[in-house]
Amino acid sequence: MLIPQLSAAESALCILLIGMAQVGGQEDGEKTTALKDLLSRIDLDELMKKDEPPFTFPKTLEEFEYAFNEHGQLRHIKTGEPFIFNAREDLHRWNQKRYEALGEIITQYVYELLETKCNLTKAILPLLVLIQGSGVVRAGQWARRLIINQDLDSGTQIPFITRAMEEGYSVMVLNPNENFLEVEKPSSTLPSQTEPLDEPAEKKERRDDKEGKKRREFYEKYRNPQKETETERIPIRENTSSEEHVLYVWDHFVSKAAAKNVFIVAHSYGGLSFVELMNHRETEVRNKVCAVALTDSAHNIWLQETSKSTQDWMQQHCCNWVSSPEPLDTPLDSMLPDCPRVSAGTERHELTSWMSFDSIFRFFSEVLEMKEDEEAEETSTNTVTTRSSSLKSKHQDL
């Protein structure tokens, strides 16, 4: 008798059926316990993965056996057919990974076309991320009070954005305070005056009181337009707080950005949100962020239980411009061992970002220049080492 070869998944199902048969004569409680124990030991996803081939794919279009024809269409070199996603049946994960591998090659191919056909030059720009404080301010604002009572320059992030673009930065403006969607509820109408027939007196009295209250609320809204509409707040998924928003933007945008040099300006509660980001993504932030300018930051390394390594990193890469009567950039004593503190040249909390504007960009320029010098020196050292090794190898060959 021939016994068919079973896949790992099919074997798992057979084991499951045998297990179920073995517990058939036990009591119901024992059956349930035994079945749960058996299922807990079986990871069907892992078993399915054992049947998959390794995720190793070609590195070039030629190795994929695809090329673009004269019409710009991707075609198989041998068959002339378009790209086939389901190259292997019943292996969706493998097909998806193969598709993604080809997509990476396409990305590099288009980059080459931009350089060769469009005469463009590929450059990785530094990235400036702006995070405002808490409250009513939204994307692009530092302080609504300054916008209304002073001017746009001091109250908005527009000067920061303009200056950053002039200096070759790409810019990302966060919106950490918009955590809910305001949805208008259906407007109420004046209660109906129709009275049901043969209604008991007590019930009629209760209904009159209830309708009287509704009528009073209706007329109150009529007299006060601000109460004319009611809204319902719907939380924005994964963005229900400033801290969540900053973490979400980091995971989905900043961490995936091509920029290798990221700079951050965080005002007030935005500084607290940045420190929370460090608490959750310390290694990623350390590898990608060059410098952080805090303005009257609300963070607290003790209350936020910040690690010693994060504190050390902040000492080297952060500076906090705080409200103070001292002249701009005057060093101030730090009560906590987190980062240097200097005067913003103003005692008004909301003005600290604007007053330290020039100092912040000077701070960033110095950090970037220092980093570029270090990279150039490292490249030079590596080049000398490589040449020396090559010469040594050449002489040994001779």
Question: CB within 8 A of 138, min separation 6: which ones?
Answer: 175, 177, 178
317 alpha-carbon distance from chain centroid: 21
Alpha-carbon separation of residue 118 from 103, 109, 112, 113 (angstroms): 21, 13, 9, 7
Question: CB within 8 A of 262, min separation 6: which ones?
Answer: 126, 127, 128, 129, 254, 288, 289, 290
Alpha-carbon separation of residue 200 from 196, 197, 205 (angstroms): 10, 9, 9
- Of the candidates 154, 170, 241, 268, the residue annotated as catalytic is 268
Q: Using CA atoms, how far apart are residues 337 and 4, in angstroms rounded to an integer?
A: 69
Beta-bridge partner residues of 198: none
Strands 170-173 and 180-184, by their bridges, are unpaired
* Token digits of residue 43: 């990871």
- Element housing 68 (H / E): strand 66-68
Q: Which residue bears the tokens 């990193």?
A: 313
Please name which of 308, 296, 295, 303 lies closest in space to residue 338, comparing C-alpha atoms. 308
Q: Residue 224: what residue type?
A: N
268 given a catalytic annotation: yes
Q: What is the DSSP string of 193-207?
A: ----TT--HHHHHHH
Coil, helix or strand at residue 234: strand
Question: Which residues are tagged catalytic?
Answer: 268
